Amino acid sequence: MQNSDVEGTIFPANFSIVAGDKLIDLSTPLVMGIVNVTPDSFYSGSRSESVNEILTRVNDMLNSGASILDIGGYSSRPDATDISVKEEISRIQPAIAAISKEFPDAILSIDTFKSEVAKIAIEEGAQIINDISGFGIDPKIADVAGQYQVPYILMHMRGTPQNMQKNVEYDNLFSDISNYFSEKIKILESKGVKDIILDPGFGFSKTIDQNYELLDNLEHFRFLERPILVGLSRKSMIYKKLGITAEESLNGTIALNKIALSKGAKVLRVHDAKEATELIVR
């Protein structure tokens, strides 16, 4: 086996997805680099607004080993300010157009829960939809994924970024999230979506203790037979636990990502591509 320490035998090794004209092999885990085109993301080091800043960050991400770039124009941190579809499009459209022109081989994901934003992003060159709401806020985004035949990252969240932390009561955390995934997968498949990646949604509608419970049980999602993405990078479950800031939480991020890989994660969504890439034995 290629990665005896990291891969184990928890998840099947033959996962792959098709993004645009590219077959993405997930037998070895991949790094998704976060490119925020927002002024208010929780981690200041990830904020980019000018096209030149965005292209510089993308170049650094690609050179550091990122296989996918996740472009987001809406801050989804708790209590984030809501913005209009028009404003979100005005942020992501020039960014994706510039990245697609400068880096034509890059695989781009659009981080949005709005169908209109997803549609524009795909037409500009994005090949994956990353929806934090699991089409719970805008159900039409699932239709967009089916229409354009793009992979869909299905994340678990309750409510909206503005109220999600008021929705943290579960009968059984793992069972409730598993049922959520099972029901959503059936709907996506009915709409013709072939490639679905699951994201348990660390930090979304969960307490700090629930986040760690979820990480501890990550391997049990194997029964769903879908690749797992984890987004742990510099989140409050790390820095609040350690009594530090997001800017100081790289070491904690590396430690938790190592655990996630040992439990079968196939995609690491991160702010720091180099450090994440070095975790993955190729």
183: domain CATH number?
Answer: 3.20.20.20
115-134 residue pLDDT tens: 999 999 999 999 999 999 99
- The pLDDT of residue 80 is 72
Report yes or no on 275 lying in a domain.
Answer: yes
Answer whether residue 90 shows pLDDT above 90. yes
- The reply to whether 165 falls in a domain is yes
For residue 250, what pLDDT is reported?
Answer: 97
Enumerate the active-site residues.
235, 269
pLDDT in tens, 48-83: 568 888 999 999 999 999 999 999 999 887 767 889
Closest CA to 156 of 202, 218, 203, 200: 200
Burial class (CB in 10 A: 0-12, 13-18, 19+), 52: exposed
The partner residues of 152 in beta bridges, in order of sequence, read 129, 196
Whether the CB-CB separation of 233 and 270 falls below 8 Å is answered with yes
What total of structural domains would you count in the chain?
1
Residue 1 lies in a domain: no
Does the pLDDT value for residue 41 go beyond 90? no
For residue 5, tell me if it sits in a domain: no
Instruction: Evaluate whether 231 touches 199 at the Cβ level (below 8 Å).
Output: yes
Query: Which tokens in the block code for residue 138?
Result: 């805008």
- Domain containing 203 equals 16-279
Whether 272 has a pLDDT exceeding 70, the answer reads yes
Contact 76, 90 (CB under 8 A): no
Please state the rounded mean pLDDT for residues 33-42.
78
CB 155 within 8 A of CB 197: no
Considering the domain boundaries, does residue 4 fall inside one? no
Q: pTM of the entire structure?
A: 0.91
The residue with greater pLDDT, 2 or 147, is: 147
